[in-house]
Structure 1
Amino acid sequence: MKTDWSRATPIASSALPAQLTTYLDAHRARDVSAAIVCYTQDAVVADDGHTYRGLEEIRTWLGRSASEYTFTAELTGAGRIDEMHYDVVQHLEGDFPGGVVDLHYRFTMRGPLIAALHIAP
């Protein structure tokens, strides 16, 4: 069943699950070790036209994204569909192509861990 992200109700960033806040902080700090423990063993990440399955592929993606470009990320919005689906909007500025972008980080949780993350404008 496909998630209808347009149904997300705005929430304060403080209402995000603790594991999402931990992940976002670790990702922003480029701390791959702290970020990877936020995922389930069989997690899936879709970013920039690529899909990464399982912890090893996600760890490689995290390491590459942490070193490929220099950027800042500011959380500018958050929404919740239900206890499993959260949409976090981040404003990124850096030395990547285009230099500025607002990205949706669409999380699917399984228990306290991230089972899926889809990143898109």
Structure 2
Amino acid sequence: MPLQLPPPVAAYFAAGRSGADIGPCFGETAVVVDERATHAGRDAIRHWHAAATTKYRYVAEPLAVAEADGRTVVTARVTGDFPGSPIDLRYAFVLDGDAITRLEIAP
């Protein structure tokens, strides 16, 4: 049975798979924390995603979803051109309506 992801989270993973712009998934002042770096604002998030996709040529496939402490936490298998691939990562999303306002990615 397919995972039931909130629409902005589903759109984020779909955009990542297709190479589409992830910007519309995020609010204007959203924040992404990944690999100990913080990317603030939709343009910085677009740049982060484009750079990571180019560097690692990866795909993230959601495996599980849970709600915890006001966050939607998705465990995804990430496969790409990086040491240790594949790896399961936790994507912790904070949502406001139809937009992601915060995303933290961690092992």
TM value normalised by structure 2: 0.89
SS of the residue corresponding to residue 74 of structure 2 reads strand
Indicate the residue corresponding to 2:3 in structure 1.
13
| RMSD over aligned Cα atoms | 1.5
The answer on 1:108 being equivalent to 2:94 is yes
Residue 23 of structure 2 corresponds to: 36
Which of 49, 53, 73 matches 2:60? 73
State the 4+ residue runs in structure 1 displaced beyond 4 angstroms.
none
Percent identity (aligned)? 33
The aligned amino acid for 2:25 is: C
Note if 1:63 corresponds to 2:70. Answer: no
What residue is the counterpart of 2:84 in the other structure? 98
**Unaligned regions of 5+ residues in structure 2, if any?**
none
Task: Mark the runs of 5 or more structure 1 residues left unpaired by the alignment.
Answer: 1-11
Deviations along 1:6-25, one digit per CA (max 9) or x if unpaired, are: xxxxxx722x2112101111
SS in 2 for 1:28: helix
Contact 2:26/2:42 (8 A) holds in 1: yes
1:81-120 residue CA offsets vs partner (Å, 9 max, x unmatched):
36x5200010112211222210001000012100000000
Deviation at 1:72, TM superposition (A): 3.1
Q: TM-score under structure 1 normalisation?
A: 0.80
Q: Which residue is 1:9 aligned to?
A: none
